[in-house]
Amino acid sequence: MLSSNKNQGEDEVVLSPFSDAGGPSSRKKRKSKRPMWIALAVVLILILGIGGLFFYRVLNDPLRTLEPFPVGKYLDGYKPLAGARFRAELRVENDLGWKDGVGRLMTFSLREDPRPVAVMVPPQLSGIYFTKGQSYVAELEVKEGGLIYANSCRKN
Amino acid sequence: MRIRAAKIRELLLGALLTVSLGGAIHALGQEAASADPGSTNASREQSSPGGTSPGENARRSSDHGGAEGQPKPSETSAALDYLYNRKPQDGSAGSEAAMVGRTIGGKAMAQDAIGIARLEDPELRGRFLRYLGMPEVSQEELAAYFEQMKKVSGYLRENKLVEAWKELHTLADYQIIDAGISRELANRVEAIWNMDRASVSLAQRNRDLQRQVKTTNWNADKLSERIRAEELAYQRQLNQGSRQRGQPSNLPSGGAPMVPDANPAGGGGASAVNPAGLEGKLQLTEQYLRSLELKAKIKVNELRREQLLDQAKKDFSDYVGTLYNSGRLNHVVLAGDFYRKVFEEGEYPAQMQQQVNASLEINRDVSATIEVFRYKLAENELVGAMDSLQQAFLTSELHPAVLGLERPLKRRIAEFNRQLDQMRNLIEARDFGNLEALLTEIRKTVLDFDTTKPMAIVNAVKLESKMRLGKAKLYAQQGNPEKSMEEFQAAAQAWPGNPDLEDKALTFFNAQDMQSQALTEFDRLAKEQNYREIFEKQLAFAPALRDDAKRQELMKGALEAIRDAEMAAEKANLMMINGDFFGAWETIELAAAKLPDDKKLNRLRADLSGRSAEFVSAVNKARDAEGRNELGYSLTWYVNAQRQYPASRFANEGIERLSKKLLDPEL
């Protein structure tokens, strides 16, 4: 449409009814530049705040120093991983069952590897309500028999 | 209790044997009575000479042939029924008795089937067969012999006893016809004459004795006269003396005959003994006793003469009886004539009279019987002809009609007799195939031979054999080899030549062999758990396992396993067609758990494992880890397997199982 209008304009000039809409901009140009600076400052403050918060959180994250859970290595053989702790971003796949005092047995898939793993969520974390598809960050520990325990878990 | 049971068993066995043997003896007795007319010959010799004639005996023997008797029912019939209905063990007394019974039964059946009265006594039968094979005596010779016999009779009628006696020696020269009997008759006559000489000698002695008696009597008379004279003289002297003395005298009494008292008035007085008179009285007594002795001797000699004559008559009568009993009928008549002439009697003794008359009658009968024989032979009625000839032979084998029978005629009878023997042997041997052919052959040549009975027996036995074979087959099909074998044996005993017997027996034994082999193979395959092989050979195994519950159970298990495997294979194939290789593998894997060595399943499993390697690997790793009790690790692999194949039975069951274990370690 615009191109057709453009072609037609070469023969005769057609003016839009909103052709005089550029009036206010000419009026803004006349306003002061202070609010702009205020906005910039706010943004900057926000950025700094957020960045600071981010760094604060990063620096205060207990899983920060843990290695990501190597699903491939685990599936090849759990014994080298036995006793080690890992960090993992988990996505809820299935709930296999719960027993009071024992915990909840779940299957999660990791972000790095879609192959699911069975994880025992201990009773102290049983307050978490897992629903399929939710993501969690957890500290995982491979225990005897290759069973993975989630020592800690928080919603991602 | 055990002793009592053994005793009862013994008693029952004894009763069985008694009845079996009794029946056998009864059957044999019947058989002998019906088919052994010659046996009456022996009894004829034992019976009184005039009691029965040869003709009567022959008729009686043939009458006995038709008589039938039934053994009386025994009180132990129930026990015997029990014993008879149970097969005795091989080698036992019962088995032996049964075998003897079968043999006797076979003979009785053969005799019953032939239905012709034949000579069964071996001696008589041998004589008859020898007669059938002998050439006939020429008619010229027979005519000459009987001409000579007539000549003897003629001499006797003319009272020319010596000439007749001489001619007997001439008759004896016809050895084949006469067999020396005439010479023996001549010897008998000569013996009577010799006896007569002894009688004459006795008569001569009696005459001498008579003379001696007369001499003795004369001597006694003379002595008596002399003594009387002496007595009288002596009495006279005594009388004179007593008168002189006035005393009476007493006469002596010495036991010798007394001379009558010359002076009876003077009796009662004592007389003196005269010594010379006494001596004379003793001599007189001796003469008297001598006379008595001689008379006694004469009487004894007379008695001896009478005894000799009676003995001679009796001996001659006995000899005539012997001739009669041995069938020498012409000699009986001749001997009767000699009797009358030798003993100078007008009539025969009553017994001899009967024998002579019977001989004449039998001679006529034999001639008539031979005529009947010739007629029946000409009409090809060999049964009747043989019967007539046997009767004539047994009655008087030396009759001229019997002796002069032409050899070719006898040969036909001999041939028929041979066929009957063959028939009998075939029936006893139960060779009914050849028997039928023989019966057909006999029926063509012998018009009066009734084949109804032998054919009925043949057909009955054949039917029995076939029915028993059928029963044997049924038992074999029902998997009862013992009963089947019993029926086979019974069928073979009934008709050993049954052509079906060999085929059926071979089939039976092959089946038995195959059954045995099938059982062995089945056991081996069951031990190896090679259910696929059992499944493929189930049709061969099924008959062998008919009554074997244990093996049937094994077979059922094997067939169910293979049926499940086949269904799993079919299901896997369908899944493969639909691209569900994981499901197909899992189906085969589940079936293979029950049949780990099944080749078909293993082949499918190997194929599907390649196509579902990742899933199979996950399941296997999960299983291995579970086996090592690495429950968490195993669960992760099951979860991975489930991710690949959510419907996986292995994965789902594994997850459920391990979850429970992990959540409840006490389980």
* pLDDT recorded at residue B20: 42
Task: Pick the more confident residue, B49 or B218.
Answer: B218
* Mean pLDDT score, A89-118: 91
- The residue count of chain B comes to 667
Separation CA B361–CA B355 (nearest Å)? 10
Separation CA B523–CA B545 (nearest Å)? 11
B621, B628, B659, best to mutate vs chain A, most A CBs in 10 Å? B659
Could B633 and A116 be called an inter-chain contact, meaning their C-beta atoms sit closer than 8 Å? Answer: no
Q: How many CB atoms lie within 10 A of CB B153?
A: 17
Domains of chain A with CATH codes: 1-63 (no CATH), 66-155 (2.40.50.140)
Tokens of B319: 């000899």
* pLDDT recorded at residue A41: 93
pLDDT at B606 over 60: yes
Task: Give me the residues of B, 492-531, that contact A with CB < 8 A.
Answer: none
ipTM of the complex: 0.71
* pLDDT recorded at residue A17: 60
Quick check: B625 contacting A, CB < 8 Å? yes
pLDDT band with cut points at 50, 70 and 90 for residue B409: very high
Separation CA B493–CA B429 (nearest Å)? 10
SS3 B250: strand
Quick check: B663 contacting A, CB < 8 Å? yes
* Tens of pLDDT, residues B118-150: 677 888 888 888 889 888 888 888 889 888 888
* B632 contact residues in A (CB cutoff 8 A): 78, 118, 120, 143, 145-148
B648, B657, B662, best to mutate vs chain A, most A CBs in 10 Å? B662
* Mean pLDDT score, B249-277: 49
Quick check: B661 contacting A, CB < 8 Å? no
* pLDDT recorded at residue B526: 86
Q: Are B83 and B94 in contact (CB under 8 A)?
A: yes
Angular region, A125: left φ>0, alpha ψ -120 to 50, beta rest: alpha
Q: Are A156 and A91 in contact (CB under 8 A)?
A: no
Task: Pick the more confident residue, B547 or B601.
Answer: B601
Could B632 and A118 be called an inter-chain contact, meaning their C-beta atoms sit closer than 8 Å? Answer: yes
Q: Specify the CATH number of the domain B536-663.
A: 1.25.40
* pLDDT recorded at residue B54: 47
Could B633 and A146 be called an inter-chain contact, meaning their C-beta atoms sit closer than 8 Å? Answer: yes
> What mean pLDDT, rounded, does chain B reach?
78
Quick check: B75 contacting A, CB < 8 Å? no
* A91 contact residues in B (CB cutoff 8 A): none
* Mean pLDDT score, B154-167: 89
Inter-axis angle of helices B329-342 and B139-157, nearest 10:
20
Comparing A28-32, B349-353, B362-366, which segment has the lowest mean pLDDT? Answer: A28-32
Task: Pick the more confident residue, B100 or B447.
Answer: B447
Comparing A70-74, B79-83, B249-253, B509-513, which segment has the lowest mean pLDDT? Answer: B249-253
Quick check: B299 contacting A, CB < 8 Å? no
* Tens of pLDDT, residues B203-227: 888 888 888 888 888 888 888 888 8
Percent of chain B residues topping a pLDDT of 70: 78
* Mean pLDDT score, B490-517: 76
Q: How many CB atoms lie within 10 A of CB B581?
A: 21
Separation CA B469–CA B500 (nearest Å)? 8
* pLDDT recorded at residue B542: 81
pLDDT band with cut points at 50, 70 and 90 for residue B623: very high
* pLDDT recorded at residue B25: 41
Using CB atoms within 10 A of its CB, is residue A58 exposed (0-12), middle (13-18) or buried (19+)? exposed
* Mean pLDDT score, A33-59: 88
Task: Pick the more confident residue, B9 or A49.
Answer: A49
Identify the top-confidence range among B45-49, B282-286, B420-424: B420-424
pLDDT at B585 over 70: yes
* pLDDT recorded at residue B246: 61
Separation CA A89–CA B498 (nearest Å)? 96
Separation CA B12–CA B88 (nearest Å)? 13
pLDDT at B593 over 80: yes
pLDDT at B39 over 60: no
* Mean pLDDT score, B388-408: 87
* pLDDT recorded at residue B81: 60
* pLDDT recorded at residue B538: 83
Separation CA B615–CA B637 (nearest Å)? 10
Classify residue A82 by its DSSP letter.
B
* Mean pLDDT score, B194-207: 80
Give A84→chain B minimum CA distance, Å: 15
> What mean pLDDT, rounded, does chain A reach?
82
Q: How many CB atoms lie within 10 A of CB B60?
A: 14
pLDDT band with cut points at 50, 70 and 90 for residue B89: low
* pLDDT recorded at residue B5: 45
Task: Pick the more confident residue, B638 or B483.
Answer: B638
Backbone dihedral angles phi then psi of residue B566, each to the nearest 5 degrees: -65, -40
* Tens of pLDDT, residues B278-329: 666 777 788 788 888 888 888 888 888 888 888 888 888 899 999 888 888 8
* Tens of pLDDT, residues B2-27: 444 444 445 444 444 444 444 444 44
Q: How many CB atoms lie within 10 A of CB A83?
A: 10
Q: How many CB atoms lie within 10 A of CB B8?
A: 11
* pLDDT recorded at residue B77: 63
Comparing A40-44, B403-407, B536-540, which segment has the lowest mean pLDDT? Answer: B536-540
* Mean pLDDT score, B156-174: 89
- The residue count of chain A comes to 156
Identify the top-confidence range among B32-41, B158-167, B282-291: B158-167
- What string of DSSP letters covers B513-535? HHHHHHHHHHHHHHHHT-HHHHH
Backbone dihedral angles phi then psi of residue B328, each to the nearest 5 degrees: -85, 70
Quick check: B146 contacting A, CB < 8 Å? no
* Tens of pLDDT, residues B641-659: 999 999 999 999 999 999 9
* pLDDT recorded at residue B70: 45
* Mean pLDDT score, B92-104: 70
Task: Pick the more confident residue, A6 or B594.
Answer: B594
Task: Pick the more confident residue, B633 or B87.
Answer: B633
* Mean pLDDT score, B541-553: 81
* Mean pLDDT score, A35-51: 92
* Tens of pLDDT, residues A7-19: 444 455 666 665 5
* Partner residues linked to A95 by β-bridges: A106
* pLDDT recorded at residue B632: 93
Comparing A120-134, A142-156, B454-468, B575-589, which segment has the lowest mean pLDDT? Answer: B454-468
* pLDDT recorded at residue A64: 78
pLDDT at B377 over 60: yes
Could A143 and B632 be called an inter-chain contact, meaning their C-beta atoms sit closer than 8 Å? Answer: yes
Separation CA A17–CA B29 (nearest Å)? 158
